[in-house]
Every structure is written in structure tokens, then in C-alpha cells.
Amino acid sequence: MPTSENDSPPVYREIAEDVRAAIASGRLSDGDRVPGENDLMKQYGVARATARQALSVLINEGIVVAIRGSGVYVRAFRPLRRHGPRRLSRELWGAGRAIWQADSPGGSFETDSVEVAEVAAPAYVARALGLTDEAAVVRRHRRYRLEDRPMQLATSYLPAEFAAGTAIARPETGPGGIYARLAEQGRAPAHFTEEIRVRMPTPEETAALHLSAGTPVLDVLRTALTDDHTAVEFNEMTLDGSAYVLQYDFDA
């Protein structure tokens, strides 16, 4: 007997679907309150746990947020735009071709909880930088905030060979940041490669980025190379997935 499709979905899914439809249709929109546990219990005649389960589906989908003592609300998506290469951007913006509405950074990024240390390179970092395993590297960790909202975590690694003892190994790197310091050494980054993946955050990341449930993060791993393709920096970034749209422009 073939798997029959006529068995109805569980109640909690149907409830979730009703609420989801109300949001998709625009009957409920950004910031609106959605029916809470007690509402759903009455409306559908179900137990508390079932109403909760329906809401937890929507929370884990990231389309609503629960606020203790207050209610459950429709969540908005208002990301920042992060550009890879900017070459074509202006032409495209001129034509109004950006798809997702995105805020432009009103204020500027603030840097937070900077930690600098000289450490032995983990295997994947050594590989990215073309170093031998456990080679000494300068590690710079920091958090970026925009108007008090944490947006991303970043950890840079640079070979200690040329980074140790320079401004690169100090919390304050001076005007232009580490790329300016690299340029002064004749190691200006000329080529970049970025690898991107998505995943759900760890509890530590959830805390550090103030993520609500159902928010994935983007891992962006960037390797910066000089003109002659020597790797000079490896940067491991973790971005709040609800806060960013990434844009890349390139030629065929």
C-alpha cells in the first residue's frame, strides 16, 4: 500500500499554518501582536502545550518573536547591505535594482570587546594562510555594533612573522585599520576570496549577537592575498542572519 497523503497534519501545524497565512496575507504585519497561548487555547480548544508547540514552530521559523509577559509579535526583516566588490554597485543602484530593502548604516560601526593575542595557528587557519601547522599568528577578535545592536563577530589571523610587534598586534590599529598597516609594509591586499555558509548559532553566539530564536547566522571566511598571491590575512566572521544582505558583483 502506497503512503497515503490523506492523513491530516497534526493540530499544532494547522494552527501554525493559520497564523502564518495571516502574516503572509498581510492581515498581520511587522510588529503586530499575534494570538497568544491563551487565545489559541480558546480559539482551537487545545491544551496549553499544543498552543505553545504551534507558536514554537513560528518562533523557530524566525517569523515571530515571543516577549515574556507581553505577547508574541510579527518580526521584521530590515537588513544592512554588505558589499563584496563594489565596482558595479553604483550602476545597479542607479537603475534601482536592489531587491531587498536594506538600511544604510546611519551611524558607523563601533568596535567592541577587542581581544588581541599571539597564538599557534589552528590547522584550518594555517592552511588558509599557507603556513605550517601551529605557526605563530596574531589573532584579533572583535564585535561590531551599530547603534548598540551587535551585528557581527570577527576573528582575524595574520602571520606573526610580519604582524607581531606592529600596530596590527595592538587593539588600536590606527587610521585605515590593519589593511592600511599592511599596505605600509608593502603587503596591500589585492585579491580576496570569501567562503560563505549558513547555520544555526551556538548559544554563545546567540548571547553575543542578541539573537532571537529562529535566527540563522552567516559564516563568512575571507582570505586576503597580495598582488603576488601571498595570503596576508584570514578573517572569520559570523554575521547575524537577520541583519545582513550580502551583495557580490562580478563579470562573466
As measured in angstroms, the least distance from the Cβ of 8 to DNA is: 9
Q: Which of 30, 31, 48 is nearest to 39 (CA)?
A: 48
As measured in angstroms, the least distance from the Cβ of 22 to DNA is: 15
Residues in 159-188 that interact with a second copy by CB under 8 A: 188
Distance of alpha carbon 118 from alpha carbon 120, whole angstroms: 7
Q: How many Cα atoms sit within 13 Å of 79 on the Cβ side?
A: 20
| Residues paired with 236 in a beta bridge | 155, 221
- State CA 171 to chain mean position distance: 23
- Verify binding: residue 214, a second copy, rule CB under 8 A: yes
Distance of alpha carbon 181 from alpha carbon 17, whole angstroms: 54
- For DNA, the closer CB: 63 or 237: 63
| Residues paired with 223 in a beta bridge | 193, 234
In the list DNA, a second copy, none, the entry touching 244 (Cβ below 5 to 8 angstroms by class) is a second copy
As measured in angstroms, the least distance from the Cβ of 91 to a second copy is: 6
- Which value, to the nearest 10 degrees, does the dihedral of the CA atoms of residues 43, 6, 57, 217 take? -160
Q: Which of 114, 198, 192, 128 is nearest to 157 (CA)?
A: 128
Contact pick of 42, 191, 207, 210 for a second copy (by CB under 8 A)? 191
Site residues (vs DNA, CB under 7 A): 3, 10-13, 36-39, 45-50, 52-53, 55, 66-72
- For a second copy, the closer CB: 52 or 141: 52
Binding map of a second copy across residues 104-143, x = CB under 8 A, - = no contact: --------------------x--xx-x-------------
Distance of alpha carbon 35 from alpha carbon 41, whole angstroms: 10
User: What is the binding site for a second copy (CB under 8 A)?
Assistant: 13, 17, 20, 49, 56, 60-63, 77, 79, 84-85, 88-89, 91-92, 95-100, 124, 127-128, 130, 188-203, 213-214, 216-218, 221, 223, 229, 231, 241-242, 244-252
